[in-house]
Amino acid sequence: MRWNWLSLIRGTYLYYQALLFGTGFIGVYFWIIITTPMVDTLMQFIFVLSALVVAASVYALARAKTRSSRTTLTVISGLVGGAHVYMDITLYPDWFFGMFLFIWFFLGMLLAAAALHWLPETDFETTAE
């Protein structure tokens, strides 16, 4: 009997794996920004707090059901995410490292949010008619 690789794509395995990788990228990002020594501890607190707000709003956006909640969470994640990108690039002495960190964070958020959004679609018992 041949193994059908398409069954992995139709099932939840691929989405749970993407969620795991995305959350792992986000975890490594938080580990880097928390352990980086900064002169001003208040600025480091604001930096970490803004990353937490962006991560929470994007995760909530992936699970949002109504249009108004999706719009509100998009605005929140966009505004706070834009401020976080600015801090990411300006707080690190080498601008390339800050940009690389944000791309790492963005890739993790993209993988995790997409997987979290598509997981209910793969539950065939509740979506079958």
Q: What is the mean pLDDT of each run of 10 residues along the chain (129 residues)?
A: 56 83 94 87 91 94 92 94 90 84 92 87 57
Q: Structure pTM?
A: 0.79
State whether the Cα torsion 29-32-35-37 is positive or negative.
Answer: negative
Question: Are residues 102 and 89 in contact, defined by beta-carbon separation less than 8 angstroms?
Answer: yes
Name the domain count of the chain. 1
Q: Is residue 128 part of a domain?
A: no
Amino acid in position 34: I
Amino acid in position 11: G
Find the angle CA(111)-CA(86)-CA(51) to the nearest 5 degrees: 45
For residue 76, what is the DSSP state?
H
Q: What is the pLDDT of residue 93?
A: 77
Q: Is residue 2 part of a domain?
A: no
Q: What is the pLDDT of residue 3?
A: 55
Residue-range definition of the domain harbouring residue 37: 12-121
